[in-house]
Amino acid sequence: METPFSSAQPGTAPPPAVPLPNEPPSIVARNVNVWYGDKHAIKNVSIDIYRRQVTAFIGPSGCGKSTFLRVLNRMNDIIEGCRVTGKITLDGDDIYDPRLDVVQLRARVGMVFQKPNPFPKSIYDNVAYGPRIHGLTRSKKELDEIVEKSLRRAALWDEVKDRLDEPGTALSGGQQQRLCIARAIAVSPDVILMDEPCSALDPIATAKIEELMDELRQDYTIIIVTHSMQQAARVSQRTAFFHLGDLVEVGSTEQIFTRPQDRRTQDYITGRFG
């Protein structure tokens, strides 16, 4: 069976297999374990995430992709009974160091959640919230610019530019998802974690978000969780395959999709189990 990699974007060459950059990885995770109460959700995962790359997390439902993503900006702190061990550094700073400020960490590591969760405020206030609490702007004009730019990049501007003061919760599911993307990039984080950002989007909006990822990749570190092999192949440079809490395999996207080392990876990407 054909791998999605070769079937992606017929007629265009697949993205060049980016050699590992020489610079050190942005995020380094070593022997990370996560428990929800007694449930061992992430088992001894070690991975390097590089700057100016899109890293895709793939794997069957319930394998721990979201969990691992949330570990990276300590969103698991607010889940009761969740325990994390191991060492994770972001640009050399240990993010589980008790002295580290989580507020600052989450400003550096932004997140788009699996389920769209706009605030029950206006569209404008949704996007402006992050810049406001972090004091990123000095004038209303500057804030207006950030809001417009973020909405444009999230491919939502044209649809909402005339009703910025309407509630964000009144948008459609896919629009809400793009609003959440706009809200996350308005803070200009260093790392953006996206948990299935296109799961509710039509092909056109999906293409726009993928374009956005490609553009953001120039400056930021991006991690995306996706169930679409095609999408992983299209947008990512590196891919990590999770299975039942284990990190089975990580490597350049081309290698994972064309020469998987592990039998489980091979079965998954060819659709033999899910």
Partner 1 sequence: MSNQPAKDGIPLRSPQDAAGAAAAAVALPREAVDEAVVANRSASRHTTAEAEKRLRRRYAAQRRFKAYGITAIAIAVGALLWLLITLLANGLSAFQQTYIRLEVTLDPALVDPRGDRSEESIRTGDFGGAIRQALRERFPDVVGRERLRNLFGLLSSGAEFDVRDKVLADPSLIGTKQTFWVLASTDVDMLRKGFFERQPDGGAGGRLNAEQVAWFDQLKAAGDLDLRFNKRFFTNADSREPEMVGILGGVVGSFLTLSVCLVLCFPFGVAAAIYLEEFAPKNWFTDLIEVNINNLAAVPSIIFGLLGLAVFLNFFGMPRSAPLVGGIVLALMSLPTIIIASRAALRAVPPSIREAAYGLGASKMQVVLHHVLPLGLPGMMTGSIIAMAQALGETAPLLMIGMVAFIVGIPKGLTDSATVLPVQIFMWADNPERGFVEKTSAAILVLLAFLLTMNAIAIFLRKKFERRW
Ligand X SMILES: Nc1ncnc2c1ncn2[C@@H]1O[C@H](COP(=O)(O)OP(=O)(O)OP(=O)(O)O)[C@@H](O)[C@H]1O
> Please, which residues have CB within 8 angstroms of residue 144's CB and are 6 or more apart in sequence?
none
65 binds ligand X (CB under 6 A): yes
Task: Indicate the residue among 20 and 170 with the shorter CB distance to partner 1.
Answer: 170
> Please, which residues have CB within 8 angstroms of residue 153's CB and are 6 or more apart in sequence?
182, 185, 212, 215, 216
Mark out the alpha helices in 17-79 (DSSP H runs): 65-71
Residue choice 26, 53, 55, 66 for contact with Mg ion (CB under 5 A): 66
Residue choice 1, 11, 23, 61 for contact with ligand X (CB under 6 A): 61
Number of residues that bind ligand X (CB under 6 A): 13
Residue choice 26, 67, 226, 231 for contact with ligand X (CB under 6 A): 67
Q: How far is CA 236 from CA 17, 74, 154, 197, in A?
A: 10, 24, 18, 14
Residues engaged in binding partner 1 (CB under 8 A): 73, 75, 78, 80, 103-107, 110-111, 113, 115, 117-120, 129-130, 133-134, 167, 169, 180, 183-184, 187
Q: What is the CB-side half-sphere exposure of residue 257 using CA atoms within 13 A?
A: 27
Task: Indicate the residue among 125 and 196 with the shorter CB distance to ligand X.
Answer: 196
Separation CA 241–CA 264 (nearest Å) = 9
Contact 91, 26 (CB under 8 A): yes
115 binds ligand X (CB under 6 A): no
Task: Indicate the residue among 24 and 62 with the shorter CB distance to ligand X.
Answer: 62
Q: How far is the CB of 117 from partner 1 (least distance, A)?
A: 4
With CB under 5 to 8 Å by kind, the binding choice for 38 among ligand X, partner 1, Mg ion, none is none
With CB under 5 to 8 Å by kind, the binding choice for 241 among Mg ion, ligand X, partner 1, none is none
Q: How far is the CB of 34 from ligand X (least distance, A)?
A: 8
In the region spanning residues 225 to 264, those forming contacts with Mg ion, defined by CB under 5 A, are: none
Separation CA 143–CA 186 (nearest Å) = 10
In the region spanning residues 25 to 54, those forming contacts with ligand X, defined by CB under 6 A, are: 36, 39, 41
Contact 142, 162 (CB under 8 A): no
79 binds ligand X (CB under 6 A): yes
Backbone angles phi, psi at 225, to 5 degrees: -100, 135
DSSP state of 163: -
Task: Indicate the residue among 160 and 193 with the shorter CB distance to Mg ion.
Answer: 193
Q: How far is the CB of 57 from Mg ion (least distance, A)?
A: 9
Q: What stretch of H or E contains 235?
A: helix 229-235
Tokens of 47: 């991975």
Residues at the contact surface with ligand X, assessed by CB under 6 A: 36, 39, 41, 59, 61-67, 79, 114
Residues at the contact surface with Mg ion, assessed by CB under 5 A: 66, 114
